[in-house]
Structure 1
Amino acid sequence: MTAQQPLRWGATLLTTLLLGTAMASPASAQADSLTVVVTDEAKSLDPCDTDLSNNSRVLRNNVTETLVNLDPANGAVLPSLATEWSQVDDLTWEFKLREGVMFHDGTPFDAAAVAAALIRAQSPDLGCEVANADLKGVVFTPEVVDPLTLRISTDIVEPILPNKMASLDIGSPSTPADAKTRAPIGTGPYTLAAWNEGQSVVLAGFDGYWGDKPAIANVNIFWRAESAVRAAMVDTGEAQIAFEIAPQDATTANDYAYLNAETSLLRIDQAIAPLDDKRVREALNLAIDRDGLIGTVFHAGAQKAMQVVLPSVFGYNPNIPVWTYDPERSRALLEQARADGVAVDTEIVLYGRIGIYPNSSESLEAIQAMLLDAGFNVRLEMMETNPWLAKLIKPWEGTRQPSILQSQIDNTQGDAVFTLPNRFTTDGNTSTTVDTALDALIANASKATGEERQKLFQEAFKVIAVDDINIVPLFHMVTSARIAPSITYVPDVQAGNELKLKSITYR
């Protein structure tokens, strides 16, 4: 490791921390209403699209519910719409369902409704996010035993099937089977009262809810791109909770910092030259001063990432070293590749998403400056959510330019199978990796159990991060929420993709 170089990109970093200006906000809430402000609008409010966090934060356990939930403290499987479950044989699990539950449209909740939701979520014509991620690689076949008993069979061994059911939000049987819906009907404590596109989502308490009624009946969810604006809305009483407050704004006693289960990274499109050369991908990692980013554009509590899951996730490999900052070695690798005829001077686009996390633009401006300093030809393009999703998710349109993509991966389910198949296999919905040996390794790990499962997943993480260098890992993220002193609410590790509205009360 060489001595750390002077931060030549420092001037850029300082100038990019300027704050945006405020914009009009909703009126102050009354005792029976709550206003929450988030970074961006949901892409979809279909129950089968909750793998995307901006969708699930509105729906999950608010409008729609799942058979089971996962304990944020330890990942244990907890009852929800299912009260108990058991394994019948290697390929079959049985779930006993909760009695006395109804959907918002008055339809009784039963095994047929769950079966319909599971079949719908796997429809190739719908392209559901949950099928492309959490249910990927397995065919789940439901069988209605009786109104409150459902069996789910799989085509291969699925040892953690109950955990996967925590990802299946169940909509009413009236949900269209052949099209996405913008009006989800669930069993949760809130109904969707309105989706004012481009402005807000409005939720209203459901009188027929089977569980404890929420303390606050009316919820408005707004989105604002600027951290300073979100924070100010709480200060002025225009909102009671604001998420993703940037480090430079999180300076009050009302700012609550928490580990949010997200790992930030840059996805390398390694199929496109010059990124198809491993030396170039290694040079990318060595050119980034992660220590210099912590406490400036990233939260002071952020932890340098070795891989794309937290150490608490089953399959995490503790033996993968953190990248060091070595711009001289980075330049040398580029020169070696150039000498061998690799077109290292080709323009590489660094795609970023506005508001993906606090200081998202500023972080990429700093990283771009570091890469330029190391000799890369990098152009930064910041995008709103939907065009960024078009770069993230297959199918991709047109000819692809060499690119690296700002992204985050969360895993609150506690097992590497919820991260690896979708993001690092050849047919993964967000994967740029083409590696049949890695595909087989991940497939074998996914159906293994115990120590063998852990060993195979750890090997897969090593292939991704060390052997092939398919990513530029950045940080296990810490973020802040500003919470009005009139509110009782403590964000947990699942807060990045689940806003537990029924747990929030006024003091």
Structure 2
Amino acid sequence: MPQGAVGTPATHVPVLQTASAPATRPDNKKIVEGGTFLRLGADPPTLDPHLTTDVNSAIYAVEIYGGLMTIDRNLAIVGDLAESWEVSADGRTTTFRIHPDAKFHDGRKVTANDIKWSLERAADPLTEAFNASVFLGDIVGVSQKLSGASTAISGVQVINDSTITITIDAPKPYFLSKLTYPVSFVLDQQNVESGRDWIFEPNGTGPFKLAEYRPGEILRLEKFDGYHLGSAMIDGVEFLISGGNSMLMYENDELHISGIPLSLLEGVLDPANALSGEVVAAPPQFDIEYFGLNTTEPPFDDIKVRQAFNYAIDRQTLASTLLEDLVVPAAGILPPGFPGYNPDLQGYEFDPEKARRLVQESKYGALDELPRIILTLPGNFGAGVSPSIEAMLAMWEENLGVNIQLQQTEWGTFLQDLHQNRFQMFGGLGWIADYPDPENFLDVLFHSKSSNNQSLYKNGNLDILLERARVELDETARFELYHQAEAIIVDDAPWVPLWHSNGGSVLIKPNVNDYFLFPLVIPKYRYVYFTE
């Protein structure tokens, strides 16, 4: 799902999930029951899980709500509301049995009808759930429901209060993974239909209840004692949205966790600094930062211009000098260590002469014949542009003679416009994995019929490879299909892939235990506990 840019020096703060190792204290200090975990946060564009499309919204959604499946601390796909499941011999129908202790926050038991209603609400065209087609589209009848041709999803059948079956159009190895995405989360019909403000008093099923939300100020979660997978050890989490200097707030004990700006990292790591013992290394995320190019608008309707923009920037120098190796230059789309990653993929080296030659070979014929280019970034009007983006703009101007105009819009508006394909060129954002499968990058972002294909990129051969990979059950053969698909994407250049995060450092208070740093957004706060 989209996230804010990951390649700027000041963004390596734990607003973004970053690794899979826990920040656990090895000593035998006494466990303290309860307590509130304090951290900075951001206003979510939405608190409706079915409308969630970005990291800022998902961080809250995965704690307040839940679906049939979830991702555990080992990044395995496991049951959430589903206690068990069985797949039919043909691989198309899965029978889910609901956990007998699964309850909404008001104490009412979750039933199969709640799951069916929720899926049908997500696929209702009136809901306008942007990601419903992407993450639920494998289910038989969803496309008809989305188009308004049907009032129900034929592939979802209630057997009894505790049993439901879901039938998909073909056996697909990643289907259960898709049920961890917020668009599939279960809602309480009565709660949703109580009025437009239901999202401020949601009756979810997750480990935490939404206790308070004041936009621009604070969002507070309170543990749900009746959570069926085991209630949280802390009383709650407070996300301080009003902002502030996280390092100063951390030192004043106003926060339990803080990112470390690059400018301060060396000093914090100094053994003479009292904070050095509180630094925790954060391994890489499963992410990529990129510029998107609208392949239907000039000049990016010409593949040679798109390739030229890739050759005209020096990723390696920027990563090593400006970003101090906190990022790894991207050769392709999939991040290192991710399932299906191809270490042999050849990306774009820095070659300004070749970049200029490609533009001259394009239908535009000359550098000075390129039309005006507008790059849209998320950010309030007048907000500063990251040094890395400024450096790349300078490289394009120096190597291609292109003076790119900047336009900035607030994050929520940016997402809406992104979904409507209103940009000629867009950047300042990245994609972080929703679940550990290459389909979540290559198919979700580049298939010609995917709503997340914001470059409006089309390649018939690519679509065929991606569709074959969807139903290939042999993992080795499937990953080879994705390798071929990724090579096509890189060559066609609908994106300018920039880099993947390479980890970083965060400060975590010594009395905080099991604050897991994951490479993707999953429920995490029920694991946290305090010690004396």
Shorter-chain TM-score category?
0.7 to 0.9
Match of 1:159 in 2: 173
Q: CA deviation at 1:225?
A: 6.8
Q: CA deviation at 1:57?
A: 0.7
1:368 equivalent in alignment to 2:390: no
Match of 2:81 in 1: 81
1:258–1:491 CA contact under 8 A, matched in 2:
no
Match of 2:28 in 1: none
Q: Which amino acid aligns with 2:498?
A: L
1:35 equivalent in alignment to 2:38: yes
Match of 1:176 in 2: 192
Deviations 1:393-422 (A, max 9, x none): 1x245xx5x324333112252212222333
* Of 427-436 and 293-302, the range deviating more from structure 2: 293-302
Question: SS where residue 206 of structure 2 aligns?
Answer: coil
**Structure 2 CA distance for aligned equivalents of residues 267 and 462 of structure 1:** 17
CA separation of 1:180 and 1:210: change in aligned 2, threshold 3 A = same
Deviations 1:242-273 (A, max 9, x none): 35x54334453334322121111111112111
Q: Which amino acid aligns with 1:56?
A: A
Deviations 1:35-67 (A, max 9, x none): 2113x321111122344211111121x211232
Q: Which amino acid aligns with 1:384?
A: E
**Structure 1 CA distance for aligned equivalents of residues 405 and 300 of structure 2:** 15
Question: SS where residue 174 of structure 1 aligns?
Answer: helix
Match of 2:58 in 1: 56
Q: CA deviation at 1:479?
A: 4.3
Q: Pairwise mapping of residues 144-293 of structure 1 onto structure 2 (< 5 A)?
A: 144-167=158-181, 168-176=184-192, 182-183=199-200, 184-223=202-241, 229-242=245-258, 245-251=260-266, 252=268, 253=276, 254-256=278-280, 257-293=282-318
Match of 1:475 among 477, 490, 499: 499
Q: Which amino acid aligns with 1:424?
A: F
Match of 2:95 in 1: 94
2:433–2:440 CA contact under 8 A, matched in 1:
yes
* Of 185-194 and 253-262, the range deviating more from structure 2: 253-262
* Of 128-137 and 333-342, the range deviating more from structure 2: 333-342
2:515–2:524 CA contact under 8 A, matched in 1:
no
Q: Percent identity?
A: 24
Deviations 1:217-242 (A, max 9, x none): 1321123677xx23332222222123
Match of 1:505 in 2: 529
1:87–1:94 CA contact under 8 A, matched in 2:
yes
Q: Which amino acid aligns with 2:263?
A: Q
* Of 470-479 and 309-318, the range deviating more from structure 2: 309-318
Match of 2:417 in 1: 391
2:138–2:168 CA contact under 8 A, matched in 1:
no
1:349–1:378 CA contact under 8 A, matched in 2:
yes
Question: SS where residue 455 of structure 1 aligns?
Answer: helix
**Structure 2 CA distance for aligned equivalents of residues 260 and 224 of structure 1:** 26
1:352–1:382 CA contact under 8 A, matched in 2:
yes
Q: CA deviation at 1:114?
A: 1.6
Match of 2:5 in 1: none
**Structure 2 CA distance for aligned equivalents of residues 499 and 354 of structure 1:** 27
**Structure 1 CA distance for aligned equivalents of residues 66 and 490 of structure 2:** 35
CA separation of 1:32 and 1:71: change in aligned 2, threshold 3 A = closer
Match of 2:18 in 1: none
Q: CA deviation at 1:150?
A: 1.6
CA separation of 1:493 and 1:304: change in aligned 2, threshold 3 A = farther
**Structure 2 CA distance for aligned equivalents of residues 444 and 424 of structure 1:** 14
Match of 1:26 in 2: none
**Structure 2 CA distance for aligned equivalents of residues 210 and 85 of structure 1:** 17
Match of 1:337 among 343, 362, 380: 362
Q: Which amino acid aligns with 2:315?
A: R
Match of 1:459 among 484, 495, 503: 484
CA separation of 1:169 and 1:298: change in aligned 2, threshold 3 A = farther
Match of 2:148 in 1: none
Match of 1:427 among 449, 459, 478: 449
Match of 1:27 in 2: none
Deviations 1:141-168 (A, max 9, x none): 2212222222111133333322222223
Listed as ranges, the gaps of 5+ residues in structure 2 are 1-7, 12-32, 143-154, 269-275
Q: Which amino acid aligns with 1:387?
A: T
**Structure 2 CA distance for aligned equivalents of residues 17 and 315 of structure 1:** 29
Of the two structures, which has the highest relative contact order with CA contacts closer than 8 Å and spacing of 6 or more? 2
**Structure 2 CA distance for aligned equivalents of residues 137 and 154 of structure 1:** 5
CA separation of 1:72 and 1:309: change in aligned 2, threshold 3 A = farther
**Structure 1 CA distance for aligned equivalents of residues 99 and 294 of structure 2:** 45
**Structure 2 CA distance for aligned equivalents of residues 223 and 42 of structure 1:** 10
**Structure 1 CA distance for aligned equivalents of residues 391 and 169 of structure 2:** 47
Q: Which amino acid aligns with 2:85?
A: W
**Structure 2 CA distance for aligned equivalents of residues 322 and 493 of structure 1:** 27
2:302–2:363 CA contact under 8 A, matched in 1:
no
* Of 92-101 and 202-211, the range deviating more from structure 2: 202-211
Match of 1:441 among 452, 465, 483: 465
1:346–1:377 CA contact under 8 A, matched in 2:
no
TM-score by length of 2: 0.79
Question: SS where residue 152 of structure 1 aligns?
Answer: strand
**Structure 2 CA distance for aligned equivalents of residues 209 and 235 of structure 1:** 34
Q: CA deviation at 1:175?
A: 4.4
1:304 equivalent in alignment to 2:306: no
Match of 2:152 in 1: none
2:10–2:262 CA contact under 8 A, matched in 1:
no
Q: CA deviation at 1:196?
A: 0.9
Match of 1:416 among 438, 447, 456: 438
TM-score by length of 1: 0.83
1:36–1:221 CA contact under 8 A, matched in 2:
yes
CA separation of 1:499 and 1:162: change in aligned 2, threshold 3 A = closer
Q: CA deviation at 1:472?
A: 1.0
Q: CA deviation at 1:282?
A: 1.3
Q: CA deviation at 1:376?
A: 1.9
1:104–1:187 CA contact under 8 A, matched in 2:
yes
**Structure 2 CA distance for aligned equivalents of residues 17 and 241 of structure 1:** 18
CA separation of 1:480 and 1:429: change in aligned 2, threshold 3 A = farther
Q: CA deviation at 1:295?
A: 4.5
**Structure 2 CA distance for aligned equivalents of residues 282 and 121 of structure 1:** 38
1:126–1:179 CA contact under 8 A, matched in 2:
no
**Structure 2 CA distance for aligned equivalents of residues 224 and 345 of structure 1:** 43
Q: CA deviation at 1:100?
A: 1.8
CA separation of 1:373 and 1:299: change in aligned 2, threshold 3 A = same
